[in-house]
């Protein structure tokens, strides 16, 4: 009897764990609403940063935000799948430099801070972005 009661509860808990581990970075970022807010703030920041905003003047924001959401969700353990261009393809022809990358990171930080993301979670997310460096720059 006890087993009959406990089994569905256990299945529920394990099911939830399989899709989004409770200690995942995704959870620290606030799950779906948190990551969507973060993406909104970051894209706003990219558009208002005079150092790099010219690059985003023709951007389809709805598309770009959705791809960023998927990418951050996937990287942070939220269980999404990124469906956009690979990073090299997405940035080819832009000839982005280390300086551009630093401006972009500044905007990520400002956007994340405005979205209420803790410094610890910001650092964890930026550490996941860093290895993409080579695919994004000088293409
Ligand atoms: C690790 C760092 C970066 C990540 C994770 C990233 C992520 C992305 C993603 C997901 C897209 C959309 C891909 C698609 O079209 O399917 C994109 C496009 C783009 N990214 Fe990045 N990016 C990074 C670095 C940068 C930097 C440093 C800059 C410039 C300062 C930049 C400028 C752009 C621009 C201009 C687009 C095209 C937007 C449009 O469609 O108009 N990115 N990026």
Q: Mean pLDDT, to the nearest integer, of 4-26?
A: 64
Do the domain assignments include residue 33? yes
Domain carrying residue 41: 23-136
Q: How distant, in Å, are the alpha carbons of 77, 89, 95 from that of 35?
A: 12, 24, 28
Identify the residues whose C-beta falls under 6 Å from ligand 1. 52, 55-56, 58-59, 64, 67-68, 71, 84-85, 90-91, 96, 100-101, 103-104, 129, 132, 136
Do the domain assignments include residue 8? no
Coil/strand/helix, residue 115: coil
The pLDDT assigned to 89 comes to: 97
Q: Specify the number of domains making up the chain.
A: 1
Q: Mean pLDDT, to the nearest integer, of 46-68?
A: 98
pLDDT interval class at 17 (50, 70, 90): very low
pLDDT of residue 18 exceeding 90, the answer is no
Do the domain assignments include residue 15? no
Do the domain assignments include residue 12? no
Do the domain assignments include residue 4? no
Do the domain assignments include residue 62? yes
pLDDT in tens, 113-136: 999 999 999 999 999 999 999 999
Q: How far apart are CA 83 and CA 73, in angstroms?
A: 12
* Atom of ligand 1 at shortest range from CA of 103: 30
User: Alpha helix locations (H) across the chain?
Assistant: 2-19, 25-28, 31-48, 61-75, 87-90, 98-114, 119-129, 133-136
Do the domain assignments include residue 50? yes
The pLDDT assigned to 22 comes to: 73
Q: What is the CATH number of the domain that holds 107?
A: 1.10.490.10
Do the domain assignments include residue 11? no
The pLDDT assigned to 1 comes to: 56
């Amino acid at each position: 009897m006890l087993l009959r009661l406990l089994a569905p509860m256990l299945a529920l808990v394990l099911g939830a764990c399989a899709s989004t581990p409770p200690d995942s970075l995704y959870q620290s970022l606030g799950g779906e609403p948190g990551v969507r807010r973060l993406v909104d703030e970051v894209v706003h920041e990219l558009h208002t940063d005079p150092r790099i905003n010219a690059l985003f003047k023709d951007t389809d924001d709805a598309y770009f935000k959705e791809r960023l959401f998927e990418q951050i969700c996937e990287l942070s353990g939220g269980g999404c799948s990124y469906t956009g261009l690979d990073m090299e393809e997405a940035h080819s022809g832009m000839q982005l430099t280390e300086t551009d990358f630093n401006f972009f990171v500044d905007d990520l930080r400002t956007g994340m801070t405005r979205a209420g993301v803790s410094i610890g979670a910001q650092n964890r997310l930026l550490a996941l972005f860093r290895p993409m460096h080579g695919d994004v720059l000088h293409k």
